[in-house]
């Protein structure tokens, strides 16, 4: 089977890009001939993405439209650029006539009519429409533009893959009766399952440092649970400065709160082997790789009661691991740390649930989708 994998831009080393490369790897291992197409590759991002990955050829760069090429140096209008570039890629691919049996698109978050399957991390149509009430005039105009473009290009009835049952519900809300299959992003459970050791009253949070994550809540919980040590490990960007200042202000005077930024992977693994509880900030993740990794390492996740991290991970471990406010999060953390027997039982359950997010499970689910796409019948 010859498959085209279309990913508009490899400009970042984020979850979308890693998912595309994991999809490529899985399809190759399943015996398919796979071509990876893109409009542009950022060399630094590609180096980070492919570090440690063997036998991964570079994507075929088909070029990008003039408008997205002119916008790229600004770093702005990223979502619009993706929609425009992906549609242009489809046209160029069709004109080349390379004879692919299946085309899969992995970045626009729209069910593209020219793709046999699309991987939607969160439906663009909802994302942009619901944001229209926020921000100033410029933001509302941009959201209107994206909404219009998403409606224009996303008129297909393609099969949709997505990252959680929670996201699947939002896709149905946006597009109605589509074939939707949950294909959880893979987690390196083999690296994490062996972690253990002397776990104490240590609570870990791993997150990107950005405004929407509401990370100040972690310091507020730490203030309410002074008997535990809280570690917030965050990856930063050029936009993280104000968030870091606010976190430090909220944590002033706290001796049990520790903020570490941009640490190497080995430091995260070290903390995972020491912590008993993983506390995720009050943000509804589409899936929550950090939550799944913590569960695989044996930490008991306490998660905001919304999003895929709740529906597909924490709630499957125990319904009592969700919270809706800082006070409830503090009570849940304290209860767990004071009940060693329950903590051990939930730690074992967390590892079992996390096994369902392994790379092998991901590959099995991808294979099921390919079989559905190639099945004979109405």
The tokens describing 208, both together, are: 């990107």
Closest CA to 208 of 231, 234, 230: 234
CA distance 203 to 199: 10
Neighbours of 169 (CB within 10 A): 14
Q: Reduce the DSSP state of residue 203 to 3 states and report it.
A: strand
pLDDT bin (cut points 50, 70, 90) of residue 205 is very high
Helix (H) or strand (E) holding 148: helix 137-153
Higher pLDDT, 66 or 165: 165
CA distance 368 to 286: 22
Q: What is the pTM of this model?
A: 0.86
At 3 the pLDDT is 94
pLDDT of residue 377 exceeding 50: no
CA distance 35 to 4: 5
pLDDT of residue 126 exceeding 70: no
CATH architecture of 2-186+359-374: 3-Layer(aba) Sandwich (3.40)
CA distance 266 to 263: 8
CA distance 303 to 309: 7
Domain extent listing, the chain: 2-186+359-374, 189-356
The sign of the torsion formed by the CA atoms of 219, 307, 208, 263 equals positive
Q: Reduce the DSSP state of residue 286 to 3 states and report it.
A: coil
Helix (H) or strand (E) holding 158: none
Question: Which CATH number describes the domain made up of 189-356?
Answer: 3.40.50.2000
pLDDT bin (cut points 50, 70, 90) of residue 127 is low
At 58 the pLDDT is 85
Let me know if the fold of 2-186+359-374 is the same as that of 189-356. yes
pLDDT bin (cut points 50, 70, 90) of residue 133 is very low
At 144 the pLDDT is 63
CA distance 278 to 337: 11
What is the DSSP track for 301-367?
EEEESSSHHIIIIIHHH-GGGEESSHHHHHHHHHHHHT-HHHHHHHHHHHHHHHGGGBHHHHHHHHH
């Amino acid at each position: 089977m010859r498959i085209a994998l279309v990913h508009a831009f490899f400009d970042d080393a984020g979850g979308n890009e890693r998912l595309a490369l994991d999809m490529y790897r899985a399809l190759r291992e399943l015996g398919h001939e796979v071509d990876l197409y893109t409009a542009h590759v950022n060399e630094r991002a590609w180096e980070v993405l492919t570090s440690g990955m063997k036998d991964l050829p570079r994507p075929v760069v088909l070029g990008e439209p003039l408008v997205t090429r002119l916008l790229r140096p600004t770093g702005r209008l990223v979502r619009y650029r993706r929609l425009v570039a992906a549609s242009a890629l489809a046209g160029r691919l069709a004109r080349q006539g390379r004879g692919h049996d299946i085309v899969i698109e992995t970045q626009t978050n729209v069910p593209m009519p020219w793709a046999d399957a699309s991987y939607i991390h969160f439906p663009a149509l909802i994302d942009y429409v619901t944001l229209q009430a926020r921000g100033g005039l410029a933001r509302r105009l941009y959201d209107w533009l994206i909404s219009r473009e998403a409606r224009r290009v996303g008129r297909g009835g393609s099969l949709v893959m997505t990252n959680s049952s929670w996201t699947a519900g939002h896709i149905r809300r946006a597009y109605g009766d589509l074939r939707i299959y949950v294909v959880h992003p893979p987690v390196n459970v083999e690296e994490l399952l062996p972690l253990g050791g002397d776990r104490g009253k240590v609570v870990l949070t791993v997150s990107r440092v950005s405004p929407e994550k509401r990370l100040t809540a972690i310091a507020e919980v730490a203030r309410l649970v002074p008997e535990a040590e809280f570690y917030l490990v965050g990856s930063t960007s050029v936009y993280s400065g104000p968030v870091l200042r606010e976190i430090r202000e909220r944590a002033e005077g706290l001796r049990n709160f520790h903020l570490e930024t941009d640490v190497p992977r080995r430091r995260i693994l070290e903390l995972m082997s020491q912590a008993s509880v993983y506390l995720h900030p009050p943000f509804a993740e589409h899936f929550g790789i950090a939550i799944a990794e913590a569960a695989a390492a044996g930490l008991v996740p306490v998660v905001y009661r919304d999003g895929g991290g709740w529906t597909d991970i924490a709630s499957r471990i125990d319904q009592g691991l969700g919270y809706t406010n800082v006070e409830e999060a503090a009570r849940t953390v304290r209860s767990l740390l004071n009940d060693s027997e329950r903590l051990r039982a939930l730690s074992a359950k967390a590892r079992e649930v996390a096994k369902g997010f392994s790379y092998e499970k991901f590959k099995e689910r991808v294979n099921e989708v390919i079989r559905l796409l190639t099945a004979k019948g109405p």
